[in-house]
Homo-oligomer: A and B are copies of this chain.
Amino acid sequence: MSSERQRELNQPLGGNAMPRFGGIATMMRLPQAQTAAGLDVCFVGVPLDIGTSNRSGARFGPRQIRCESVLLRPYNLATRAAPFDSLQVADLGDVATNPYDLKDSVRMIEEAYDEIVGAGCRPITLGGDHTIAWPILRALKKRHGPLAVVHVDAHADVNDTMNGEKIAHGTPFRRAIEEGLLQCDRMTQIGLRGTGYHADDFDWCRRQGITVVQAEACWIRSLVPLMAEVRARVGDAPVYLSFDIDGLDPAFAPGTGTPEIGGLSVYQGLEIIRGMRGLNVVGADLVEVSPPYDTTGTTALVGANLAYEMLCVMPGVQFR
């Protein structure tokens, strides 16, 4: 990359140009783009919470993540990633949803992602409840073929139905598997735990070939070895990272809709994302941040940081 090109890349608005508490809150204070054309990676919000089964509020997730993202500076001091030195990145704003019809919202999301993905852009999505993963996966499959998946969550999200409905925030991976969007043998679910409707709820996943790593298997240890296994499993497949913030323990991320105790630590969350470096990451999401329940502001801050870390493992990022 020539210094010529470097000068043309979008950069986050710096703290010296505008105090961090000032300015319009786009993601990382990046320029807002109207379309994905010309972008290597975009941040894009999907404000939606009508797929939630318990607490709502995730509709404000994208806005609040952006608000807390203003503290982020461009370089990753842990991994020395320099995403803005080589990638064209912008904030695409939000995908419009239909607040009164979940099925129609799913349709609108898929159309919006068809366009984003079709432009060759890799989306990092700010949710929004987990329902949105399904239409996003549909759009990605069209371009990249069946996807390997790293899925961080307290819940498997493979219910057949919820309240009789096929579409809800507990069903997206069931739908995706049914439609052949995923490569289950290259899929890993990390952090699953809690209570269920059957003692063997997670075994359905295992029967599809998915590797399930329950939260208890992660307690009080580093996930660096696990991620080596994950990378081997993914191999050179296009891979999607779906990160439900409730994969983390409520101590680290209280502001979410269906919190489960005994979850991953934020250290492990970072290890998971950083452990995806080198893979062909074609998209990622950070979902289920519910600001009304995030009384400390920490959850949105975690969400903003994790979204940034996702950017730092996108193909093409340089490390210094």
Q: Which of A14-22, A134-142, A178-186 touches B?
A: A14-22
Q: Which residue of B lies closest to A12 (CB)?
A: B195
Contact residues of A between 270 and 313, Cβ < 8 Å to B: 270, 292-293, 295-298, 301-302, 305-306, 308
Shortest distance between the CB of A168 and any CB in chain B (Å): 5
Instruction: Choose one: B22, B32, B320; the contact of A94 (CB below 8 Å).
Output: B22
Q: When the two chains form their complex, are residues B71 and A54 in contact, meaning their CB atoms are under 8 A apart?
A: yes
Q: Inside 8 A of A55's CB, which chain B residues have their CB? A: 21, 60, 292
User: What mask results when residues 57 to 80 of chain A are scored 1 for a CB within 8 Å of chain B, else 0?
Assistant: 101101100110011111111101
A14 vs B164: C-alpha distance when bound (angstroms): 13
Assuming the contacts A99-B19, A222-B219, asked whether A82 and B199 have C-beta atoms less than 8 A apart, the reply is yes
Q: When the two chains form their complex, are residues B199 and A76 in contact, meaning their CB atoms are under 8 A apart?
A: yes
Contact residues of A between 61 and 120, Cβ < 8 Å to B: 62-63, 66-67, 70-78, 80-82, 91, 93-103
Q: When the two chains form their complex, are residues B259 and A267 in contact, meaning their CB atoms are under 8 A apart?
A: no
Contact residues of A between 246 and 279, Cβ < 8 Å to B: 249-252, 254-255, 258-262, 265-267, 270
User: What mask results when residues 176 to 196 of chain A are scored 1 for a CB within 8 Å of chain B, else 0?
Assistant: 000000000000000011111
Q: Is the CB of A220 closer than 8 A to any CB of chain B?
A: yes
Q: When the two chains form their complex, are residues A24 and B19 in contact, meaning their CB atoms are under 8 A apart?
A: no
Q: When the two chains form their complex, are residues B202 and A261 in contact, meaning their CB atoms are under 8 A apart?
A: no
Shortest distance between the CB of A207 and any CB in chain B (Å): 16
Shortest distance between the CB of A177 and any CB in chain B (Å): 19
Q: Inside 8 A of A302's CB, which chain B residues have their CB? A: 250, 261
Shortest distance between the CB of A86 and any CB in chain B (Å): 12
Assuming the contacts A100-B102, A298-B251, asked whether A24 and B22 have C-beta atoms less than 8 A apart, the reply is no
A194 vs B57: C-alpha distance when bound (angstroms): 24
Contact residues of A between 124 and 182, Cβ < 8 Å to B: 162-165, 167-168
Q: Which of A2-10, A44-52, A225-233, A235-243 touches B?
A: A44-52
Instruction: Choose one: B82, B163, B197; the contact of A99 (CB below 8 Å).
Output: B163
A193 vs B274: C-alpha distance when bound (angstroms): 14
Q: Inside 8 A of A98's CB, which chain B residues have their CB? A: 163-165
User: What mask results when residues 16 to 42 of chain A are scored 1 for a CB within 8 Å of chain B, else 0?
Assistant: 111111111110000010000000000
Q: Which residue of B lies closest to A101 (CB)?
A: B165
Instruction: Choose one: B168, B220, B308; the contact of A267 (CB below 8 Å).
Output: B220
- Given A73-B194, A219-B267, 15 other A-B residues pairs in contact with their CB atoms under 8 A: A16-B164, A24-B32, A51-B100, A55-B60, A71-B258, A75-B201, A81-B199, A101-B102, A101-B165, A195-B308, A200-B320, A220-B265, A250-B302, A261-B302, A262-B305
Q: Which 3 pairs show the lowest CB-CB distances between chains A and B? A: A292-B292, A199-B320, A56-B56
